[in-house]
Structure 1
Amino acid sequence: MIKPNKTLSVTVLGAGYLFLYLPIVLLVIYSFNESKLVTLWSGFSTKWYAALLEDDELISAAWLSIRIALLTATASVVVGTVAGFVLARFGRFRLFTLFSAMINAPLVMPEVIIGISMLLLFVQMGQLLGWPQGRGLMTIWIGHTTLCVSYVAIIVQSRVRELDMSLEEAAMDLGATPGKIFFAITLPLISQALVSGWLLSFTLSLDDLVLTAFLSGPGSTTLPLVVFSRVRLGLNPEMNALATLFISSVTIGVVAVNWYMRAAERKLAREMRMAFAAEAA
């Protein structure tokens, strides 16, 4: 049996992390660069953060992207939870294959195809029904939710299949209704999957460019579209400052969620030990 070389493993792992995170570290460092040339260091300065706060276009685009991401993540968790629960618990009902294919289709279908399809759909709906009148926040939100529901459904489906059915069966024996069981037992047990799906949906929506380009209209330019249009004309130090703020926010959010999930796991384990101890007594 060949034993792994510890030095080689550490070296490969370090090189991988360096490849992934060194560009991010350099971006954060150069966000405090005084020079307008993003690749030439001329001194420490925070003026680009002040300039960013005065950039109305970026601030407006960032606020629109955050609102759409919040709406998308929430709607995706609600719809995706129902879809994932159906896939995991309802067995192979009639039209199960079609339902499963519709849920999984956005995972494998190129965003360009999804964007064109939804654009044609909204144009036809506007002509026949008078809604939507133009493209904006609503159309982008619907498109992002369509994309993100699939990810949430897969996460929830995997988590539901791992649950211990005896807990729900015990609640049924005690007279609990299916709705009470779902909200009091099942939902807390899959809460970590819901949080993961919410964060993933929020990130995908906030970062989406291709789908948004098809579904946005005048006055509804999101942050990725603004950044993409500006980067094509040349790098701007304000982009480094903006990226640093997002990196800081995401890092804080990930740490907070990780702490919450660990605390929830410890609490659940403690409650299970107390329940087993009471049952044994």
Structure 2
Amino acid sequence: MLDDFMTRATLAGIGVAFAAAPLGCFVVWRRMAYFGDATAHAAILGVALSLALQVSIFAGTVAVALVMALVVTLLTGRGYAMDTLLGVLAHSALAFGLVAVSFLSGIRIDLMAYLFGDLLAVSRGDLVVIWGGAALVVALIVWRWSPLLTSTLNHELAYASGLNPKREQLVLTLSLAITVAVAIKVVGVLLIAAMLIIPAAAARGLARTPEAMAGIAAAIGAISAVAGLQGAYLLDTPAGPSIVCVAAILFAALNLLQWGRERRG
């Protein structure tokens, strides 16, 4: 079954959707969209360092994403607004990564594949990395679900409950770094944030509980991956952007349906 490239691509897309969906809910609730975008942009620098040092791209991107999060944490509240700080770091990391890639001699690299994904070239080894990373992210979120939710709703309530919001932030940061690393092959660094945010935002109006929102977001992400991949195959369009286009269409359609129900009600 895995000899078919479409099967491998479909499984890879679903794996990324399952990793991004619950994490995307926390990104939406905490208004961390720009932080997710900054972490994704920094992944290109991780790719360049991984190729230069001849280590796993997964390890390199996770390491750079964690360093990005640490720098943001250390510099927050030192005279710069969060969005300004994230803007500087995100675009600086992306620029340094692109420049670093140009210095790599003797290494053939398809930069567009890292920027926008190369889903149809997913190998069996890539599937192991994607699903292993997705399983780790889901396990972390399930393990820390209640503390994460409490810290997201109210920091004072978290402290009163004996929780450390900074520790929960670290769990989210680690999960985000892993998701970015496994999603590079599927949608590329420029579109990873979209897979985090759009399915979660689309699920927000349908869910009555946080757990339901995470489940619905996972379903929307998986549907987007399958439908986007089929559309890319039939229309000869880029796979990663096609998946994001389907997610955006679902977001718009669900919001229009909700608006129509509110008008009739």
TM range (shorter): 0.3 to 0.5
Structure ID, larger Rg: 1
With normalisation by structure 2, the TM-score equals: 0.33
